[in-house]
A and B are shown apart, each in its own frame.
Chain A
Amino acid sequence: MIDLTARIERRRALSLLAAGGAGLAAAPLWAQALVDLHLPGGNGARPLVTDFPGKGPMILQRSRAPLLETPMSAFDGQVFTPNDRFFVRWHYADIPTAVDVARFRLSVLGAVKKPIRLTLAELLAMPRVELAAINQCSGNSRGYFEPRVPGAQWGNGAIGNARWLGVRLKDVLDRAGIAPGAVQVRFSGLDAPPPDAPIFAKSLDLAHAMDGEVMIAFQMNGAQLPMLHGFPLRLIVPGWYSTYWVKALDRIEVLATPDTGYWMEKAYRIPATPGASVAPGATGFPTVPINRMGPRSFITNIADGARVTAQAPLELRGLAMGGASGVARVELSADGGKSWTPARLGPDQGKYGFRTWDAVTPALAPGEHGFAVRCTSAAGETQAFEPIWNPGGFMRNAIETVTVRAA
């Protein structure tokens, strides 16, 4: 139980409530409903669709190549995001549509002592590891950047947490043997680029690839990987953004020189500045490849602008993550950040996964109440109110506030 009494003024509250009450255009026939992501400046209405194989209701960001976002309500009350509600993101439209498990091979080549091509049976016979880890798109929440930036206009739902079962990348690399002088390892999958476009491939430094935590998963939440999530194999890079979690992984290339491909040298770069933030419009700053995630926290049981019962306590619950380290604490503020009260944390399922949290407010006076939630990671990093900005729209992790009207 925590004490959240003060009522706060919220600058956006009235406009958000107005937007929520104005209603959206009628949903098209093929959509179950429309969801409004309340993106600043508008254009945040998205259809909720159910016709992607193996998927429940998902926010449609793009049909081809699929970009499907998890509605915030689907996160509520559980540490693990169900496979049928997990977000989907592919870069190129030519994604694998059929995989024969008997013919599939995982190649390990390049700067190795002996190139190998592993069957799935050989991989399944190797020592297994299981890990809870959050998979979050680098551009999750890009739609909330101000000023807005082009790219996939995600709300907060390009994120999910799953139990991954597979083998250590290190064990697979050891079977091939790393040759002297190797510096990086490059990963690519069965998706194919349009003519002349760069193949989607991502690289990790050799020491990272060999750290014993990076893994190759064949199961997601106890089931074989769904095709939309990279069947039959997916790279899992705990604590790092999803861009490195290569789907339908079939090729591992050990490199003797750093990867100069488009997807490392040009795309998914962040400013080499504190918090990966620059002034809007800035140019000429040095950049580095995106890497570790930071802390985030979400309220999952109450939507922004919701009406709640006055003179009654309100239960708040949600999810938190530390990023590249665990969750140290989750705190709530009902006074715009002047004071913070700890929330109760749920069971620890591993430092790379979500942690549930909950809290109960005292009886709410009639009127508006804003509840802000922030997470501090085990590494000591705390979410801030002030959002970062960068031209790629990456790494947003500002404090989220939900405003309710008690009546």
Chain B
Amino acid sequence: MSRPAHRATGLLAVAALTFAGAALAQRQAPAVRQGGIVLQSATLTLPDDKAAFPEGAAGELVANNCTGCHSAEMILNQPQLGAKWKATVEKMRTAYHAPIAPEDDAAIVAALTAIEAGHRGS
């Protein structure tokens, strides 16, 4: 399914306002007013990813294959999955088209399991 064509025009990066500072942006942000309601153009600046995988080959492999779409906490916060990580890796490929080569699955599952064990201190 493709994105609706109007999406690009519905979004406007108000970069100039960001540079002008929050107070100025507050005054200048375009607004729509009607019937006592004001809706004001808005921007969102998200914080950087926080958690990281442990250093080493396992962490690098998982970071390279998994963190294009989501930050590390999604993996680090899971319960002990062990071999069940395989189903999750497959779901990421089949449902979300994550660019993970099937021949890499075994190594990725092993890395996830190693990270999981280390993360728990067990």
| Mutual binders A and B | yes
- Chain A residue with Cβ nearest B79: A148
CB proximity to A under 8 Å, residues B70-102? 70-71, 73-74, 77-81, 84, 88, 95-98
Inter-subunit contact B73/A61 (CB<8 Å) = yes
Q: How many residues of B contact A (CB 8 A)?
A: 51
Inter-subunit contact A231/B42 (CB<8 Å) = yes
- Chain B residue with Cβ nearest A197: B96
Given A41-B79, A148-B79, residue A107 in contact with residue B30 (CB < 8 A) = no
Inter-subunit contact B71/A100 (CB<8 Å) = no
Inter-subunit contact A150/B81 (CB<8 Å) = yes
CB proximity to B under 8 Å, residues A173-201? 188, 190, 192-199, 201
The answer, yes or no, to whether A284 is at the interface (CB within 8 Å) is: no
Q: How far is the CA of A44 from the CA of B80 in the complex (A)?
A: 12
Inter-subunit contact B77/A99 (CB<8 Å) = no
Interchain nearest-CB distance for B83 vs A (Å): 12
Inter-subunit contact A53/B44 (CB<8 Å) = yes
Q: How far is the CA of A149 from the CA of B91 in the complex (A)?
A: 14
The answer, yes or no, to whether A300 is at the interface (CB within 8 Å) is: no
Interchain nearest-CB distance for A119 vs B (Å): 8
Stretch at the interface among A89-97, A341-349, A352-360: A89-97
B98: chain A residues at CB < 8 Å are: 194
A362: chain B residues at CB < 8 Å are: none
Q: How far is the CA of A267 from the CA of B92 in the complex (A)?
A: 13
B42: chain A residues at CB < 8 Å are: 98-99, 224, 226-227, 231-232
User: How many residue-residue contacts, CB under 8 A, span A and B?
Assistant: 175
The answer, yes or no, to whether B106 is at the interface (CB within 8 Å) is: no
Across the interface, B37 reaches (CB within 8 A) one of A124, A150, A251, namely A124
CB proximity to B under 8 Å, residues A127-178? 128, 143, 148-150, 152-153, 165
Q: How far is the CA of A74 from the CA of B105 in the complex (A)?
A: 42
The answer, yes or no, to whether B57 is at the interface (CB within 8 Å) is: no
A224: chain B residues at CB < 8 Å are: 38-40, 42
Q: How far is the CA of A39 from the CA of B48 in the complex (A)?
A: 26
The answer, yes or no, to whether A51 is at the interface (CB within 8 Å) is: yes
SS class, residues of chain B in contact with chain A: loop
Across the interface, B3 reaches (CB within 8 A) one of A41, A98, A104, A199, namely A199
A227: chain B residues at CB < 8 Å are: 42-44
Q: Mark A32-46, 1 if CB is under 8 A from B, else 0.
A: 000000010111001
Inter-subunit contact A124/B35 (CB<8 Å) = yes
Inter-subunit contact A194/B6 (CB<8 Å) = no
Interchain nearest-CB distance for B109 vs A (Å): 13
Interchain nearest-CB distance for B121 vs A (Å): 9
Q: How far is the CA of A64 from the CA of B84 in the complex (A)?
A: 23
Inter-subunit contact A198/B1 (CB<8 Å) = yes
- Chain B residue with Cβ nearest A188: B4
Q: How far is the CA of A335 from the CA of B37 in the complex (A)?
A: 51
Q: Mark A86-130, 1 if CB is under 8 A from B, else 0.
A: 000000110111111111110100000000010111001100100
Q: Find the residue from A120, A150, A198 having the highest chain B CB count within 10 A.
A: A150
B27: chain A residues at CB < 8 Å are: none
B119: chain A residues at CB < 8 Å are: 43
A8: chain B residues at CB < 8 Å are: none
The answer, yes or no, to whether B64 is at the interface (CB within 8 Å) is: no
Q: How far is the CA of A148 from the CA of B11 in the complex (A)?
A: 40
Known: A99-B10, A219-B37. 8 other contacts (CB 8 A): A43-B79, A63-B47, A63-B49, A64-B46, A95-B44, A104-B10, A119-B32, A150-B84
14 A/B residue pairs, CB under 8 Å, sorted by A: A31-B50, A52-B46, A62-B71, A101-B30, A103-B9, A124-B33, A125-B34, A193-B96, A197-B69, A198-B95, A224-B38, A224-B40, A232-B39, A250-B7
